[in-house]
Structure 1
């Protein structure tokens, strides 16, 4: 039996429609801000679980729009309004990140990222559509205020 459970998120179709009504740069900024905020608790747990004696690993765990590991390329999306948010070690902590998480011939796994996921994945998805719709509504109000001042 799998230890993973399925999650169902409803309401994202409506959020996507509402995002389509915003200027693309505003929609992308809203999604990035929202995603970073959602991943912050997971990042803090990963930092708390990361081994201290392994170089800059603990301090290198970040939330951002670029993957931290060298040599990985960003995918180009057909939808120019799409965003990706990553949480994990930046390039500063990368050399020791995978061996610490997964283990190696000489060291047992430390599992700092997996512990953070296990602790926070439910919170990450719970209420995501409602929270995102609130952020989109706030962004739409800001856009309307700017347009009213201009015109």
Structure 2
């Protein structure tokens, strides 16, 4: 699920060209990251709505972010050297709901090694995967619209700033 999506491969050539009009790489990345987060919010909302209600922490922990926890970084693919790469992550924060993975995938019957006590199993109750499969295509569609709006606004701001400076 960590596939790289490139604007020019999606047929967004004009969008990509407008993005390159922004002078600073940091501005380009900030605009794209903001667009990614905004486009992914409905996916997080759908996951939270379909998450089982245990104590309410699971629903509250689901969101969109641009940074991973230490645990997430260990599981993520190696960092890319691409200077234009931006990421957004949809999922639960393991610090708020450490049970999220157990709920999503379930567990088999467990027995404690020292005491032999059986601790039972957890039936899978997927909430993140169904949200991803339902929202993947709509998220890409939203991303194009949102990115176009944000890129256009950033290019306009840059033009106004340059006009004031006399560039």
Give the TM-score category using the shorter length. Answer: 0.7 to 0.9
Q: Which runs of 4+ in 1 moved over 4 A?
A: none
Counterpart position of 1:89: 92
Of 85-94 and 66-75, more deviation after overlay is shown by: 66-75
Match of 1:58 in 2: 59
* Residues 50, 100 of structure 1: alpha-carbon distance in 2 compared, 3 angstrom cutoff: same
Residue pair 1:11, 1:129 contacting (<8 A) in 2 also: no
Which of 79, 83, 86 is the aligned partner of 1:80? 83
Distance 1:13 1:71, change over 3 A: same
1:66 is paired with a residue whose SS is coil
Aligned length in residues: 143
- 2:35 is aligned to 34
Q: List runs of 5+ in structure 2 lacking aligned partners.
A: 1-8, 109-120
Separation (CA, whole Å) in 1 of partners of 2:94 and 2:165: 43
Structure 1 vs Structure 2 CA RMSD: 2.3
CA 142–41 in structure 1, closer or farther in 2 if over 3 Å, else same = same
- SS of the counterpart of 1:77? coil
TM-fit CA distance, 1:55: 6.3
Aligned partners of 2:33 and 2:66 also within 8 Å: yes
For 1:109, the equivalent position in structure 2 comes to 124
User: Where is the strand percentage greater, Structure 1 or Structure 2?
Assistant: 2
TM-score when scaled to structure 2?
Answer: 0.73
Larger radius of gyration: 2
- Pairwise CA distance, 1:15: 3.1
| Counterparts of 1:127 and 1:92, CA distance in 2 | 29
Task: Mark the runs of 5 or more structure 1 residues left unpaired by the alignment.
Answer: 1-8
User: Does 1:17 pair with 2:17?
Assistant: yes
Q: What SS is found at the alignment partner of 2:63?
A: strand
Q: Which residue number corresponds to residue 154 of structure 2?
A: 139
In 2: Cα distance, 1:120 partner to 1:69 partner: 27
Q: Distance in 1 between matches of 2:144 and 2:31?
A: 13
Q: 1:81 deviation in Å?
A: 2.4
Deviation at 1:16, TM superposition (A): 3.2
| C-alpha contact (below 8 Å) 1:69/1:90 kept by paired residues | no
